Amino acid sequence: MAKIIRMKNHPASAPALPSLRAVPLRLSSNGQAVPLLDEAERETLAGIATLARFPRGARLEAEGERAVQIYNIIEGVVKTYRLSEDGAAYILAFLFPGDLVGLYENGRYVNSAEAVTAVVAHRLPIEALEQVLQRDPALNAHFLSKACHDLRAAQRHTILLAHHDARTRVLLFLDLIADHASEITGSRRIVALPMPRTDIADYLALSPEAVSRTLHALEHEGVLRFISPRVIEFDRRDDLPSIHRQSG
Amino acid sequence: MAKIIRMKNHPASAPALPSLRAVPLRLSSNGQAVPLLDEAERETLAGIATLARFPRGARLEAEGERAVQIYNIIEGVVKTYRLSEDGAAYILAFLFPGDLVGLYENGRYVNSAEAVTAVVAHRLPIEALEQVLQRDPALNAHFLSKACHDLRAAQRHTILLAHHDARTRVLLFLDLIADHASEITGSRRIVALPMPRTDIADYLALSPEAVSRTLHALEHEGVLRFISPRVIEFDRRDDLPSIHRQSG
DNA sequence: TTGCCGCCATGACCAGGATCAAAAATTTCG
DNA sequence: CGAAATTTTTGATCCTGGTCATGGCGGCAA
């Protein structure tokens, strides 16, 4: 038992099998994101996967590069982004364990991806993956489910940025992070933000100043409390736009 | 020959087979959107499809409804949107021939969809479609390609709305429409806008007033010329942010 | 300890587009 | 054809969040 806990704290010692998290297309019990793959499917993917580790800040791929592999995150947080002409970054998504990194078209990656924290991931060579998917229709269907899940997430992100003000964007961002990386201590929820203000700003299409101001305005409102700049106490809110329940 | 032209103007007389348009994942010659399906695959889908016609303004589906079918557009334009608490509409995409309508999760449609023009589409029952995809891995792979294509389009839409000003948004919108519905008359490109200003506004996250103002500012710049409020002469521009080349 | 450097916070000012109000143009329909 | 309804346009004002500038905090190395 102590050993299991130790493994959880040190995932290096026993990497988990590949896993896809998403809300299923078909009617399921609760409509939450769940692991899609069964043991056999995870073993199948493990058969073509090699383990990759990235330190914080490492780039997994760059837009325009020839796409040779995709990654399945086991541990850590990855950001995907595009660079504009003037060097500004547009962060498209933060990805968590159970997500896939490496969207490509015409044989080339569409986005860049960088490790926000230390990351452990399975490297899936595209060549081998496509062969496996050809042979296993059920597995193929799961990848389709995952793509649809990410499409819905992108649509929610669009609505969030395009139609909501800074306060709502920041609240929903905190919600997103709290879903994936929060500890419940008594009745309080402690959320650790793994990325700097600039990343939050690039994801929410705000200036870093606006993110800072908004966070502090929320503290004055009593919605949250700072423990340190990267750690806040935050009680999840029910009064957020329903459009955005569920995210990935 | 005259008959063929007549058929093109009156698609009612000879509906085309189902078709999926997207940029392929694999390296392809030009990196443009192309029809993904071969004749056999189109016939396979036709085997489970029934033809559906919708007048302008008809609703194809509503968010939250039980998902029983998806549509493959043959002719016309469809908008997909979400409704906010206060009744405002967030238009997520305009869909054209070769596109799929009917994204669902947990057995229910995620978005609403409405015909912007008169629409002809193949109705594909989900039940039958999933069976067909199980039996035909290549077809399944094409649906995955299409989902990835739509995901990339959603990401471009996010960047467009979140990081570009009104002028750029309107220009790129005109580009989008010109891709799908323009006639080249001599050296001028005539673009017919099939939707009202409010729809353009809801898609670009602007007010209808801002859309109108921006269009007229572009006319004063000499970038376009109004023939009527819904018909403009517009020469495609090369100086737009490269992020947005290609759309669906 | 001290100084450097990256990250974060705060203040002052400005601008793009929203909002409110109302007129003009176009389409629909009797 | 003419009138109503809808769509589009224009004008005036306001406000959110961007930008620029400055200052504080904390970690790290010497």
Same domain, B155 and B184: no
Residue nearest to nucleotide C25 (CA to C1'): B229
| CA-wise closest residue to A119 among A141, A136, A93, A97 | A97
Domain assignment of residue B88, given as a range: 2-162
Same domain, B11 and B133: yes
pLDDT tier, A196 (very low <50, low <70, confident <90, very high otherwise) = very high
pLDDT at B118: 92
Q: What's the Å distance between residue A197 CA and nucleotide C2 C1'?
A: 28
Mean pLDDT for B75-96 is: 94
Q: Which of A13-17, A36-40, A197-201, B112-116 has the lowest mean pLDDT?
A: A13-17
CB-based contact (8 Å) between A27 and chain B?
yes
Distance (Å, rounded) from C-alpha A173 to C-alpha A157? 10
Same domain, B176 and B155: no
Mean pLDDT for B91-112 is: 97
pLDDT for A233 beyond 60 = yes
Mean pLDDT over each residue of chain A, to the nearest integer: 90
Q: Choose one of B162, B190, B216: the last residue of a domain.
A: B162
pLDDT at A31: 87
Distance (Å, rounded) from C-alpha B25 to C-alpha B23? 7
How many distinct structural domains can be found in chain B? 2
DSSP assigned state of B93: E
**Residues 143..162 of B with a Cβ closer than 8 Å to A: which?**
143-144, 147-152, 154-155, 157-159, 161-162
Residue pLDDT, tens place only, B24-68? 999 998 889 999 999 999 999 999 999 999 999 999 999 999 999
Q: Choose one of B162, B180, B205: the last residue of a domain.
A: B162
Mean pLDDT for A96-104 is: 97
- Nearest by CB to A84, from B103, B155, B243: name it: B243
| Chain A environment of B157 (Cβ under 8 Å) | 158
**Nucleotide nearest the Cα atom of A207 (by C1'):** D18
CB atoms within 10 A of CB A120: 19
Model pTM score: 0.92
Question: Domain with B174 in it: what CATH number?
Answer: 1.10.10.10
pLDDT at B7: 34
Helical (H) or strand (E) element with A92: strand A89-95
Mean pLDDT for A120-143 is: 96
Mean pLDDT for A195-200 is: 97
Q: Which of A151-165, A171-185, B141-155 has the lowest mean pLDDT?
A: A171-185
Contact B209, B197 (CB under 8 A): no
Same domain, B128 and B204: no
pLDDT at B248: 36
**Nucleotide nearest the Cα atom of A210 (by C1'):** D17
pLDDT for B13 beyond 60 = no
Which is higher by pLDDT, B125 or B244?
A: B125
Max distance between CA atoms of chain A, in angstroms, equals 57
Same domain, B35 and B103: yes
Mean pLDDT over each residue of chain B, to the nearest integer: 89
Same domain, B107 and B146: yes
pLDDT for A109 beyond 80 = yes
Q: Choose one of A117, A146, A162: the last residue of a domain.
A: A162
A-to-B residue pairs, Cβ atoms closer than 8 angstroms: 147
Helix, strand, coil percentages (3-state) for chain B, rounded to 5, are: 40, 25, 35
Same domain, B25 and B50: yes
pLDDT tier, B11 (very low <50, low <70, confident <90, very high otherwise) = very low
pLDDT at A179: 86
pLDDT at B6: 32
Mean pLDDT for B18-29 is: 95
Which is higher by pLDDT, B238 or B39?
A: B39
**Residues 202..241 of A with a Cβ closer than 8 Å to B: which?**
205, 241
Contact A36, A145 (CB under 8 A): yes
Residue pLDDT, tens place only, B129-185? 999 999 999 999 999 999 999 999 999 999 999 999 999 999 999 999 998 876 665
